[in-house]
Amino acid sequence: MTVTEQAPTALVGPVDVDQAIAWITERLRTKSPEQVITIGERTGWWSADLVEWVFDGGNGEPPTATSPAPVAPTVREDQEPADRGVVEPAAQPPTPASLAAQPRAIEPMTSEQAAAEVARVQAAHAAPPIWEQPAADVEPQRPMAGSAYVTVLQGRELGVDRSYQRPLDQPRVKRMAENWDPRMVGTIDVSDRGEGAGPIRYAVINGQHRAAAAAAASPVGADVWLACTVHEGLTVADEARLMHEMDRATKKLTGFDQWRARRGAGDVVVLEVEAIAGLHGLRVGPEPTDGTLRSYGAAEKLLKVGGRDLLDATLAVLSAAYAKAQAGYQAPLLTAVGQVLHRNPGLDVDRLVTALASNRPEQLRATATALREAEGGPLNQLMARAVAGAYNRTQGSGPRIVSGR
């Protein structure tokens, strides 16, 4: 990988969506969307869905499955200038010990044990809430490493060790709390550091934002009960390694994963888009193959803008011009043809089909890219202007499209 393909080296840490969008936009000035998608697939900074969203003009919310991107690569400070094209690989932490679930045996509690448990809960209630607790200063004695069990704990019993945990993102917690769904909480992974572990006994390894949002959304605040997977016998270093492994193993939902889930839930918009696509011999899916409509997000937007008739007419025009060629149904072209049809109800559809058939999708993209370099503006509108220009240059009846509208 060359230096020109790296993220700016001054940016260190997780890349947010705005940074990824800025990098995509910059690269689209000199590279084709396909090249930018290839860079994202190789580096992990962004997904094909986010590139298409940027090229399509950035209408609506960006694909959520793309954010945040992985840590930006850095260049070693001790490298000579001639060597600064080499990316220093990140050190891989050792794999943590297996954490197979081991349920606890349930035994009757003596009166002494009950009194001790009451004292423990009272002490936990007096502790600071999760977002204020500091890191432990001592390394307590621990049970045997590798054991884990599931139980319920109150939010105020949990703490966060900032020596390895990321800072709490308060705006994210607020968004989660405002749209709180208890079914989506899952279990919080915590490390039981044992009695006498200082201000933190149960250190959150994975799920600090869910725990904080649950407390914010609950009428009882930090007294909210949370299902927790409790890991025993871990050192602070073990906790940090386990957090890293969990983050790395967590697979974000892709755009099509979300689409498929909506389909399974009976989402009427998803079912309508797929039904209309089927009328033109297309199937909705993520594969870059002929006969597959990958731009399901753009199709959904057209359905919302102009209803079933607009999406049906758009797919009919593209099908007549490009048959089932995959390139004919990419999001920018699908959106552009839909815009032209929606804004110009009196145009000659046969003339539009002829104009498109005389210009490969790649040619129309190149025209839109040139317009962007010369004039700027949203890419979906520039693509619509390229389609309108091809229409105006084609012989046929019907009115010309004025100013690409």
Please write the tens of the pLDDT for every residue from 70-81. 433 333 333 333
pLDDT at 398 over 90: no
Please give the pLDDT value at position 351: 93
pLDDT at 89 over 60: no
| Closest by CA position to 230, among listed 201, 255, 256 | 201
Mean pLDDT of 44-59: 81
Please give the pLDDT value at position 52: 82
Q: Are 273 and 311 in contact (CB under 8 A)?
A: yes
Mean pLDDT of 22-30: 83
pTM of the predicted protein model: 0.50
**Cα distances (Å, whole numbers) of residue 46 to 62, 94, 233:** 11, 27, 37
Show Cβ contacts of residue 123 under 8 Å, excluding neighbours closer than 6 positions.
Answer: none
Q: Which residue has better confidence, 303 or 147?
A: 303
What is the CA 265 to chain-centroid distance, rounded? 20
Please give the pLDDT value at position 108: 55
d(CA 169, CA 13): 14
Kindly report the average pLDDT of the chain as a whole number: 78
Location of structure tokens 């190789």: 42
Please give the pLDDT value at position 333: 93
Show Cβ contacts of residue 157 under 8 Å, excluding neighbours closer than 6 positions.
Answer: 124, 127, 201, 202
Please give the pLDDT value at position 199: 83
Least reliable range by pLDDT among 87-96, 255-264, 281-290: 87-96
Q: Where are the beta strands (DSSP E) in 100-242?
A: 148-154, 158-159, 188-192, 202-206, 225-232
d(CA 351, CA 322): 14
Considering 87-101, 157-171, 372-386, the range whose residues carry the highest mean pLDDT is: 157-171
Mean pLDDT of 79-90: 35
Residues paired with residue 152 on neighbouring β-strands, in sequence order: 227
Token digits for 53?
A: 């969203």
pLDDT at 141 over 80: no
Please give the pLDDT value at position 145: 52
d(CA 101, CA 229): 9
SS3 206: strand
Tally the C-alpha atoms within 13 A of residue 329's C-alpha that lie toward its C-beta.
29
| Closest by CA position to 336, among listed 360, 318, 349 | 318
